[in-house]
Structure 1
Amino acid sequence: MVLIPGGSFTIGSNHLNYPEERSAAHVHLDRFCIDQTEVANAQFAAFVAATGYVTVAERPLSKVQFPDLPDQQRLPGSLVFEMAKPGTKVVPELSWWHWQTGANWRHPFGEKSTIVGKENYPVVHIAYEDALAYAKWSGKSLPTEAQWEFAAQGGLNNAIYTWGNQYSAKKANTWQGIFPFFNTKADGYIDSAPVGSFPPNGYGLYDMSGNVWEWTSDWYAAGHASKVHQSNPKGPDQAQSFDRHKPHEPALHVIKGGSYLCALNYCSRFRPAARESEASDTGTTHIGFRLVKNLISKI
């Protein structure tokens, strides 16, 4: 882990991209430690071996939650990304995601895929409760959004990216080309990369931009009004969690950092100020996590 000294900084941005980043607020954080990299497959495998834990993606869909689904459609699985087929010119929004039976952290793209030889890749298909279970076992916790963003800035308060203000395909694992039609792989990867494959930020942290999205403990609401001039803010209450773009979803958590699927023409959320909402019970091929160790009991 890396010690983050704490201090005051501006969370969010009033200048770029998406409305949910706005209401930039000055907040203060006590010092804390954070994982230098995203949790990797080998680390998660050690947790599973020690505890026998079964992830959400490895469990059948609940009959209570999905009473009308036949048993065949409640088989364990998760959401997998699929690039548009060659020659396709128009695709419906979010049609690049499909439910894949047998997809989970051991089999990222379905039951015929494997993580053998990818022990140092970030673990994916992790739902929120999976990340919490690992955190409890390891004696750590998920970062708040403020902790995550402060660490991602690497000491560069108000910089656009974790490394400065100029985009570079060599600085992070992102999508190069036109999403979702083609990826030039200018950064060397078509999907996730081994943790630590790209240069660290100013605090020595890897993959705070791109590679895979990372869970935070904060409930999601647009903007940062609830954090203004707060010390160690934890975000809104669950009852206040809402995303106008996902009105039928239950309360949502904040994920940060973007992923290898974020492109300049779509998403572009591989910036410290950027954020997205995600349902707690949802894992995908591009969501993982890292943890913090709080050094002050009041956080």
Structure 2
Amino acid sequence: MDRPEHRTGCCAPQRATGPAVPPLLSGHPRPAGPSAHTVPQAHIPAQTFRMGDAHGDGAPADGETPVHPVSLTAFDIDTTSVTNADWAKFAAATGYRTEAETFGFSAVFHLALAADPRDILGQPPQTPWWRGVRGADWRHPGGPRSSIEGLDEHPVVHISWNDAQAYCAWAGRALPTEAQWEAASRGGLDGRRYPWGDDLGAQEGERTGWRLNIWQGAFPAENTMDDGFLTTAPVRTYSPNAYGLWQTVGNVWEWCADAWAVDTYTRDLAAGTVHDPTGPAGPAPHAPRVMRGGSFLCHDSYCNRYRNAARTSNTPDSSMANAGFRTVSP
């Protein structure tokens, strides 16, 4: 695949306006204990795996190379993204308000809008398919005229990195490092593009014939929904990987703990075999954070980041209609 450019349109633009908010928000919830988090777990065994893009699929500006050995201690990870039902329990128990709610707006893809014209605050010129929408948040993923009724088992979206950290603080969990995320997504398949292998082709026996929720059709004007969905799919759609994880690629971007750097792997490789890496040390509070897995907006003609090795970033206070998270044991 030839991807000479760093194309970011499948993930939302950075939040450019709004009040200053500290990294974890003042008064973020106190821990509620391990029973607060009920997402089923997969155990990822201790291992050394080859991290990075072994196929030359990624753009240089994404920093997916060089491929390098990484050793990880065993850990447990959510088998699915955190759902609307999971987040609703957290919000009800704590009264927590997301940054999208605090700022009063978030990013919505133009074909998923459910808002009056007066609620459209603008669109970035580089990615005009995104809209800044007043009243878009986790309860209203398409804008103020939408709701999550009937979407309990869909991934929660419009969640910033800061919001995800607040959930983790309450639940006694953590965001995965990107090394943990990649090892878990690979499911023990060394060097493969996807959680099931190298072939994106249809899966015999799946309801739609697709293995993941990405864009079909001409991006960004038409989505034929051959995979069954315009936006998010329920978290247990398609098939899990060999470790039992569902939809690590496609559906929604997932926040990782690490700060972003294009040259992370170059510096790691210089150190030899890396043990439990945590990304660049000492990041500034507002430094961009890693996101993994791609989303329902990814399409090979524009953004092929629905791969195990793919990585991108956004600022920790940014939220969007195609990003959520899953957690790991601390």
Q: TM-score range by the shorter chain?
A: 0.7 to 0.9
Q: Kindly provide the CA deviation profile for residues 80-125 of structure 1, in whole angstroms up to 9, marking residues without a partner as x.
A: 11149xxxxxx96311111100000000111110001111110000
Distance 1:23 1:240 in 2: 25
Judge conservation of contact 1:11–1:26 (CA < 8 Å) in 2. yes
Unaligned 5+ segments in structure 2 are 1-40, 113-123, 203-209
Which residue, 266, 274, 280 being the options, matches 2:316?
Answer: 280
The reply to whether residue 140 of structure 1 matches residue 164 of structure 2 is: no
| 1:151 match: secondary structure | helix
Rounded Cα–Cα distance in structure 2 between residues aligned with 1:261 and 1:33 = 28
Correspondence for 2:109: 81
Aligned residue in 2 for 1:289? 325
2: CA distance, partners of 1:10 / 1:205: 19
Cα root mean square deviation, aligned: 1.9
* Contact persistence 1:221–1:240 (CA under 8 A): no
Q: Residue 267 of structure 2 aligns with which residue?
A: 226
Q: Which residue of 2 aligns with 1:235?
A: 279
Asked whether the 8 Å contact 1:13–1:273 carries over to 2, the reply is yes
2:213 alignment partner in structure 1:
173
**1:213-263 CA-partner distances (Å, limit 9, x unpaired):** 00000111114123331100001125499xxxxxxxx52000000000001
Counterpart position of 1:49:
92
How far does residue 184 in structure 1 lie from its aligned partner after superposition? 1.4
CA distance in structure 2 between the aligned counterparts of 1:266 and 1:168, rounded to whole angstroms: 18
Q: Answer yes or no: is 1:187 the counterpart of 2:220.
A: no
Q: Gaps spanning 5+ residues in structure 1: where?
A: 61-75, 85-90, 242-249, 295-299
Identity of counterpart residues, as a percentage? Answer: 45
Partner of 1:197: 237
Question: Matched residues in 2 for 1:280 and 1:240: separation?
Answer: 11
2-structure distance, mates of 1:46, 1:135: 13
Q: More deviation in 226-235 or 272-281? A: 226-235
The answer to whether the Cα contact below 8 Å between 1:226 and 1:236 also exists between their aligned partners in 2 is: no
Higher mean displacement: 108-117 or 176-185? 176-185
CA contact (8 A) 1:39 1:289 kept: yes
CA distance in 2, matches of 1:177, 1:166: 19
Contact 1:238 1:251 in 2 (8 A): no
* Residue in structure 2 matched with residue 87 of structure 1 by the alignment: none
CA distance in structure 2 between the partners assigned to 1:111 and 1:97 by the alignment: 16
- State the shift of 1:168 in Å: 2.9
The Cα offsets for residues 34-80 of structure 1, whole Å up to 9 and x where unpaired, read as 000000000000000101101000013xxxxxxxxxxxxxxx01011
Partner of 2:185: 152
Match of 1:244 in 2: none
2: CA distance, partners of 1:197 / 1:206: 7
Q: How far apart, CA to CA, are the structure 1 residues paired with 2:267 and 2:173?
A: 25
Equivalent position of 2:59 in the other structure: 18
For residues 191 and 48 of structure 2, the distance between their equivalents in structure 1, rounded to whole angstroms, comes to 12
Distance in 2 (CA, whole Å) between partners of 1:239 and 1:43 is 29
Instruction: Specify the SS of the correspondent of 1:50.
Output: helix
Q: TM-score, structure 2 length as denominator?
A: 0.77
The correspondence for 1:125, drawn from 150, 158, 181, is: 158
Distance 1:206 1:237 in 2: 30
Deviation by residue 1:128-182 (Cα, 9 ceiling, x = unmatched):
1110011111111000000000000011110011111111351111111221121
TM-score (norm 1): 0.85
Q: In structure 2, do the counterparts of structure 1 residues 52 and 240 end up closer, same or farther at CA, with 3 Å as the change threshold?
A: closer
Number of residue-to-residue matches in the alignment: 266
- Write the letter of the residue equivalent to 1:167: L
Partner of 2:33: none
CA distance in 2, matches of 1:21, 1:172: 21
Structure-2 residue corresponding to 1:31: 74
Secondary structure, in 3 states, of the residue corresponding to 2:131?
strand
For the residues of structure 2 that align with 1:100 and 1:35, how far apart are their CA atoms?
30
More displaced stretch, 133-142 vs 175-184:
175-184
Provide Cα deviations, 1:169-218, integer angstroms capped at 9, x if missing partner. 51111111221121111111111001111111111100111000000001
Q: Which residue of 2 aligns with 1:93?
A: 126
| Aligned twin of 1:69 | none
* Distance across 1 between alignment mates of 2:94 and 2:221: 41
